[in-house]
Structure 1
Amino acid sequence: MISRLRILIFASCAILFSCKNEKKESENVAEVKTEEIQDLEGWDKAEAILKEIKIPQFQDKEFNVLDYGAVADGTTKNSEAFKKAIAACNEAGGGMVIVPSGKFLTGPIHLKSNVNLHLEEGAEVLFSKEKQDYLPVVHTSYEGVELMNYSPLIYAFEQENIAVTGKGTFNGQADNENWWPWCGAERYGHKEGTPQQKDDHNLPSLRKMNEEGTPVADRVFGEGHQLRPTFFESFSCENVLVQGVTFTNAPFWVIHPIKSNNITVDGVTVNSHGPNNDGCDPEYAKNVHIKNCLFNTGDDCIAIKSGRNNDGRRVNIPSENIIVEDCEMKDGHGGVVMGSEISAGVRNVFVRNCTMDSPNLDRAIRIKTNTLRGGFVDGVYVKNVKVGQVKEAMLKVNLHYGIYDNQDGEFFPEISNIYMEDVTVKNAGKYGILIAGREGSKVSNINLKNITIDGADTAEKITDADPVNYENVIINGEKM
């Protein structure tokens, strides 16, 4: 049997050197400083970003949760055992906390620096359905607005060198009886007259606090409120790895690195079809590498965010340097999405070598904002993407996005510099290309090259945007 030491060495080395083994867009990209990356062009920039991303390293020490009192029967609550094992690992300078094969029920897991929570094959972590287990409230975020709320199921705050790895499963146990009814939709179990997130003391109250600039410490929700927690959240963390594990039955967003740098999400499966079950939502995040993952979700597969309205402008940290490659997107509202919580802006997004295909996938690439959100998107690069079936469009840019009332304000978005090449689409749905800019805020510099789109009811619908630069683009058999 391979020793734990060999597993640790193999995992660390494989991640550290994987970028060197991949085919480079340019063989002459030199090591560059972070501030110089923006001066590079196209995919050379992506290669430089990959060299900047740091992978967490861990000592060769093990802490098995069974040694701290954990019981793998699926009914005994193991919150204290997980807490003790993580604390012991952290106090010893770090290492691997082992969760062996079996079913382990627990409350929220709070990670500490230099801890790798490792799920062995056959391990399933079941999260408690008792809401009080997620109290006291912690500093977190809901739809792009910071607040004090129920703890995320797996949470790290101001930590560094943390990881969840392995071949096991994290099961949030959210369903139409637990967490999901709070979204307010009947199809997710909500019953008329019972509390839900749109009640005045929930989202409307949080929205008002956002508008008025209420200090985050005073935005206290949690008990008596109905705002669901995220699944895995690293908040203000450095060097984060999520590798190999499966997430299912999430209450809300699944993987949410917020205000964090150097994030690697590798070989992860997200199979969760609840409300707002986005697969991975980097927010105010920098240097993010998402690779070899499968997203089968109830909302966006990947949604890049940077705060909602005043909160985003207050924090003012763009999400940038985000690379998505070798991933598969199935069900979801969009494959790779920017927005709608995007008020601090997004730059340098790279998507390559991905497949997107499902009758329940709405769009492949999507940008969504409005004049309340504002924000900017500068530099989206898409290459070698195969799209099977989507419902609405291969590319959708919408500066009129709004699922709530009163979505107009004074913050005009700026969307520019989109480059897509070597993309094939078998069934594009309603549109090949769908772009809705705004007067005074036109979408600019969209470049499409070597793209074939079939099955579109309408080839393109473009308003308030500069003319698209087409090069060898064929939609429904006709050259554009």
Structure 2
Amino acid sequence: MQLKKYLCFLLFCICAFTAQAKDYRASLFGIYSDGVTLNTRSIQYAIDYIHQNGGGRLVFFVGRYLTGSIHLKSNVTLHLEEGAVLVGSLNPWDYDRKVWTSLIFAQDQKNIAITGQGSIDGRGRYIARNIVDMIHKGLIKDQFRFDRPEAECRPVLVYFRNCEDVKIHEVTMQNSSSWVQIYDQCKTVEIDRITVDSKAYWNNDGIDIVDCDGVSVTNSFIDSDDDGICLKSHDASKVCKNIVIRNCTVRSSANGIKFGTASYGGFSNVKISNVKIYDTYRSAVTLAAVDGGFVENVQVDSVQAYNTGNAIFLRIGERVKGKKGRMENIHISNIYVEVPATKPDAGYEYEGPTEDMPRNISPAGIAGMPDALIENVTLKNIEIRYPGGGNPMFAGVRLTDLDKVPEKPEFYPEFSMFDELPAWGLYVRHARNIKVEGLTLSCEKKDYRAAVVLDDVHGANFKAVKISKPDKRDWIYSHKSTGVVTK
């Protein structure tokens, strides 16, 4: 019996020692925290060593660790203690490119993670400036549209492709020169309690989830110069599916949460709940199927948006001739939005583009195509507060001329794409089976437009609608529509 106890104690000690041995201090590998020494090769050696020896955590303590591109391997965690900063090099030649240019790569790996209360700083505006310099010198070939390098040419902070069992916990990601983090065709990704603070350059999407299966984004704060949380489908044979976004706060100079713009495959089984969005230039929520792909089985619940340019925008388009999208089974409930009279992101360093001014405030929108209707949409307990004050001198299309509203199937999908619309609250076009229960629309000042306009809508049921406005115009106008019921 004594021998058995001794063996059990010995086994416990060995297990405890083994678990402890799986943490490796960065300094063990000659990785310096002075912010000056370029540690790329040392960090990569450490990752390779840990990977080859059964896996573990590479732990960075307080300090600034300068590096170029590194490649994470299976069973390895980068753990950044509070006060530890992984700092991106300012030399463009210190970065690798594999589809995207990135600071941290992983491809075809399993069980990888970035954790801890430290941060990753891409120093985006400075590395982008140096890339521009190289383009001007002819050393980097780039389309250089809009006087900026293409997004793929500028380093993102994280690019993981075809990886499985990924965890991103607690870390702060800041100052990317392009999209902040991309998870491309990955399975089982858990993003929790992270902070994104990236307003350093153009195209600073906070989180991009591309053709992934099984992703959760929870308890996180996103402040970005482009779309906050963005689902994309780059591959027509893939689907971005089984996604959960919950308990997050988002600010964006574009859209708070967006599906697309790239929508070649599809989006399926997505749940968004308990999200706060503020100071956001475009829509709180945008769902787009404009490249031949589909959007189906989406639930959006409990979203609050303040000082946001638009509430909800659903769009089917045809950016590639002959490839129309599909959208169906969308359930949006318990939404509160305040739309301001002024530009919501005014004053931010890289704010959204200024639309043709002056213009009237755009309504929430559901816009399909004549031969590709958006189907089976439920809006329940929705409240949107508008500033009102629509000026008829800016009017583009009258209610009697709704056929003149342009289709623009090939255009970039955004709420203002149709220019002036004859509705101030909700505009639905080319749709079927729309159910609205508990809709409250209000505007502070008189608006010459109707609150709700339906155009080519078949099967629309409105129940418990409250319209607060300063005039006595009928709240709904229907054109070329059938089966419209109001209670």
Fold agreement, TM-score > 0.5: yes
157 and 408 in structure 1: CA distance in 2 versus 1, 3 angstrom threshold: closer
CA displacement at 1:398 relative to structure 2: 2.6
For residue 350 of structure 1, the aligned residue among 261, 266, 271 is 271
82-91 or 233-242, larger mean C-alpha shift: 82-91
Q: Is the 8 A contact 1:181 1:191 kept in 2?
A: no
Structure 2 CA distance for aligned equivalents of residues 464 and 182 of structure 1: 45
For residue 87 of structure 2, the aligned residue among 126, 141, 155 is 126
Bigger share in strand: 2
SS of the counterpart of 2:262?
coil
Structure 1 CA distance for aligned equivalents of residues 76 and 316 of structure 2: 42
260 and 464 in structure 1: CA distance in 2 versus 1, 3 angstrom threshold: same
Structure 2 CA distance for aligned equivalents of residues 341 and 96 of structure 1: 35
The 5 A counterparts of 1:318-333 are 318-333=239-254
CA displacement at 1:318 relative to structure 2: 0.3
CA displacement at 1:336 relative to structure 2: 1.2
Aligned to 1:146: none
Structure 2 residue 382 is matched with structure 1 residue 451: yes
Q: Is the 8 A contact 1:59 1:95 kept in 2?
A: no
AA at the equivalent of 1:301:
G
User: How large is the RMSD of aligned CA atoms in angstroms?
Assistant: 2.9
Structure 2 CA distance for aligned equivalents of residues 91 and 344 of structure 1: 37
Aligned to 2:316: 399
AA at the equivalent of 1:413:
G
Aligned to 1:160: 110
Q: Is the 8 A contact 1:182 1:197 kept in 2?
A: no
Structure 2 residue 128 is matched with structure 1 residue 179: yes
SS of the counterpart of 1:83?
helix
For residue 308 of structure 2, the aligned residue among 390, 410, 414 is 390
74 and 448 in structure 1: CA distance in 2 versus 1, 3 angstrom threshold: same
For residue 222 of structure 2, the aligned residue among 280, 291, 295 is 295
CA displacement at 1:467 relative to structure 2: 5.5
CA displacement at 1:361 relative to structure 2: 3.4
Q: Is the 8 A contact 2:162 2:185 kept in 1?
A: yes
Q: Is the 8 A contact 1:432 1:456 kept in 2?
A: no
Structure 1 CA distance for aligned equivalents of residues 32 and 63 of structure 2: 9
For residue 423 of structure 1, the aligned residue among 335, 339, 355 is 335
CA displacement at 1:332 relative to structure 2: 3.2
Map Cα deviations across residues 264-300 of structure 1 (whole Å, 9 max, x no partner).
1111111112211111111110000000111110110
CA displacement at 1:230 relative to structure 2: 2.7
Q: Is the 8 A contact 1:77 1:107 kept in 2?
A: yes
Aligned to 2:286: 366
For residue 338 of structure 1, the aligned residue among 259, 268, 284 is 259
The 5 A counterparts of 1:39-438 are 61-135=22-96, 137-138=97-98, 140-141=99-100, 150=101, 152-175=102-125, 177-179=126-128, 197-198=142-143, 227-273=153-199, 274-307=201-234, 312-313=235-236, 316-358=237-279, 360-370=280-290, 373-391=291-309, 393-400=310-317, 407-427=319-339, 430-438=361-369
Structure 2 CA distance for aligned equivalents of residues 474 and 192 of structure 1: 57
- What percentage of residue pairs aligned between the two structures are identical? 28
131 and 190 in structure 1: CA distance in 2 versus 1, 3 angstrom threshold: closer
CA displacement at 1:366 relative to structure 2: 0.2
- RCO higher in structure (CA 8 A, sep ≥6): 1
100 and 351 in structure 1: CA distance in 2 versus 1, 3 angstrom threshold: same
317 and 60 in structure 1: CA distance in 2 versus 1, 3 angstrom threshold: farther
SS of the counterpart of 1:465?
strand
SS of the counterpart of 2:155?
coil
Map Cα deviations across residues 398-425 of structure 1 (whole Å, 9 max, x no partner).
3348xxxxx3411010011111111111
Aligned to 1:476: 442
SS of the counterpart of 1:167?
coil
Gaps of 5+ in 2: 1-18, 342-360, 389-423, 444-464, 468-487
Map Cα deviations across residues 9-32 of structure 1 (whole Å, 9 max, x no partner).
xxxxxxxxxxxxxxxxxxxxxxxx
Structure 2 CA distance for aligned equivalents of residues 299 and 462 of structure 1: 26
Map Cα deviations across residues 157-189 of structure 1 (whole Å, 9 max, x no partner).
1100000001111011110x42268699xxxx9
Structure 2 CA distance for aligned equivalents of residues 461 and 180 of structure 1: 42
Structure 2 CA distance for aligned equivalents of residues 190 and 296 of structure 1: 29
SS of the counterpart of 2:216?
strand
AA at the equivalent of 2:202:
P
Aligned to 1:214: none
SS of the counterpart of 2:207?
coil
Q: Is the 8 A contact 2:124 2:177 kept in 1?
A: yes
Q: TM-score, normalised by structure 2?
A: 0.71
Map Cα deviations across residues 423-471 of structure 1 (whole Å, 9 max, x no partner).
1113366344212211101111111111111126410122222263110
Q: Is the 8 A contact 2:92 2:131 kept in 1?
A: no
CA displacement at 1:198 relative to structure 2: 2.8
348 and 172 in structure 1: CA distance in 2 versus 1, 3 angstrom threshold: same
Structure 2 CA distance for aligned equivalents of residues 294 and 180 of structure 1: 27
Larger CA Rg, structure 1 vs 2? 2
SS of the counterpart of 2:177?
coil
114 and 271 in structure 1: CA distance in 2 versus 1, 3 angstrom threshold: same
Q: Is the 8 A contact 1:90 1:112 kept in 2?
A: yes
Gaps of 5+ in 1: 1-57, 142-149, 207-224, 402-406
SS of the counterpart of 2:51?
helix
Structure 2 CA distance for aligned equivalents of residues 346 and 59 of structure 1: 42
AA at the equivalent of 1:230:
V
AA at the equivalent of 2:305:
V
305 and 181 in structure 1: CA distance in 2 versus 1, 3 angstrom threshold: farther
